[in-house]
Amino acid sequence: MIGIYLIGAFLISGLIFTNRNTRINYILISIFGILQWGFTIYSCYHYKNTTLGYFTIDSLGLLLLLTLSVISIPALIHSYLYIERQHKAPQSRSIYFAALVVLITSISAAYLANHIAVIWIFTELTTLSASALIYHHRNKLALEGTWKYLFICAISITFVFIGILFLSLSLQHAGSDDLSFANLMAKSDQLNPFWLRLAFLFIFTGFTAKLGLVPMYTAGIDAKDKAPAPTGALLASVLMNLGFVGIFRFYAVVAHTPLHHWANLIIFISASLSIFVATVYMTKVMNIKRMLAYSGIEHMGLVMLGIAAGGIGYYAAILHVILHAFVKSSLFFQFNQLYNVYESKSIYHVGNYFKYNPTGAIVLFLGFISATAMPPSGLFVSEFLIFRALFQGQFIVVLLLTLLMLTIIIWAFGKNIFKILFTPPVGFDDSHVVKPSPWESLSQYLLLFIAVWLGLNPPAEFVHLIQDAITILPK
């Protein structure tokens, strides 16, 4: 089925790219939405199956595929609203939606890939398709953001490639050349430690560009800022989850070798520095989209702290990336409406949002509560479990420093959000304000509800999938 899905999705993308008829393009996009969900439902009924030899529908892949498919529907709807309001030329619209289809398809395939080289291929496809979306506005700032994203991602994907070469050298010591994760796991006790150490350094560093961690985090900040908000929602959620998949699957192999504690140290350093960077920038950032992007760095830092802490931290990390995807995408979708009101991304030039869009203002308020993990946010549960894992692992210094930095982030985030919601904007002429339809906020309410529901009252099947995903990790 995945072969049909890939052929169908890339064919739809090609037809959208070459076609300039508005109605036909939107019909093709609707067909893609049906194909995406058809493939997702098929995957649910064929759990644990392997297709084409390079794709396995395992627990982690299925969880993240479901998350992607849920978010992709509002992404397509809000993209339609965005394009229609921008009155873009048919060519620009075709390029945008063709790239969007390739991005969603590539992420879906990478989630299910059971071979590190296959993940590498589809990760590169996400870079190319995301670059086309970042450059959508065709202006100087978009060009700057696109080249920066391409440059950093090109370096990161090269790092992953070099890491794969080192991994193959490590595997030669075991008398094998099969780089599938199942084979790597089976041969983990025979891998050459020297080459494996180098492989982990390069592969981990390379995937931090997608995950949004130090040192490669800068690629995503400008990308989420310059890209249209519906695209930014995908970059800030499901694409970051792709970076997590790349690191998690390889970390599971390294965790069964004597390098486990060394790998945890590398992750601790990167995660802690990421939260520190987010703290510094959150206190001074005045660009709303960049503020949301830096918030993502903080959350991915917490996720990797959970992985490095082990124990219940494994479960919490996977739960956190899923819940974060729903919360952060909802905030980016809402930004689309906020921009329609103020036509500005600067916190200096916005305010009193409750007056102009009360329905959307409640989304921002609930999104702030969720993103800062305050009850009843589902992220409160995952963050609490991460802190518990750090405490049980006796990483007390890391725990205390993390709590201090999160307190500063909550203050900085809250100050800006309450400025947007309640403080009257200076010099703003509201005589011609465009008031968004309340229905445009419906998708955000649904996403935030899902995040609360999965955090506070998760279905048994959902819990089982996460527990199954972490069985490959050491206790």
| CA pair distance 219, 151, nearest whole angstrom | 8
**Phi and psi (nearest 5°) for 255?**
-65, -20
Reply yes or no on whether the pLDDT at 4 is more than 80: yes
pLDDT tens digits, one per residue of 8-47: 999 999 999 998 888 898 999 999 999 999 999 999 998 8
Distances (CA, A) of 432 to 27, 428, 429: 34, 10, 7
The answer, yes or no, to whether the previous bond of 459 is cis (omega within 30 of 0) is no
| CA pair distance 136, 86, nearest whole angstrom | 11
Give the closest residue to 94 by CA, choosing from 6, 24, 11, 10. Answer: 24
pTM recorded for the entire structure:
0.94
**Tokens 């440059």, located at residue:** 151
> What DSSP designation does 137 have?
G
Check residue 299 and give its pLDDT: 96
Q: Summarize the confidence of residues 157-166 as an average pLDDT.
A: 95
| CA pair distance 379, 212, nearest whole angstrom | 18
The answer, yes or no, to whether the previous bond of 215 is cis (omega within 30 of 0) is yes
Q: Is 257 left (phi over 0), alpha (psi -120 to 50) or beta?
A: beta
> What DSSP designation does 346 have?
B
Q: Are 216 and 285 in contact (CB under 8 A)?
A: no
Give the closest residue to 216 by CA, choosing from 238, 243, 195, 242. Answer: 243
Check residue 421 and give its pLDDT: 92
Q: Summarize the confidence of residues 146-174 as an average pLDDT.
A: 92
Q: Summarize the confidence of residues 61-68 as an average pLDDT.
A: 96
Reply yes or no on whether the pLDDT at 430 is more than 80: no
| CA pair distance 236, 329, nearest whole angstrom | 7
Check residue 367 and give its pLDDT: 95
Check residue 66 and give its pLDDT: 96
pLDDT tens digits, one per residue of 81-107: 998 887 777 888 899 999 999 999 999
Reply yes or no on whether the pLDDT at 429 is more than 80: no
Opening angle at CA 351, ends 346 and 356, nearest 5 = 120
| CA pair distance 105, 32, nearest whole angstrom | 10
Domain-wise residue ranges, the chain: 1-258, 273-475
Check residue 319 and give its pLDDT: 97
Check residue 437 and give its pLDDT: 85
Handedness of CA 208, 401, 453, 440 (dihedral sign): negative
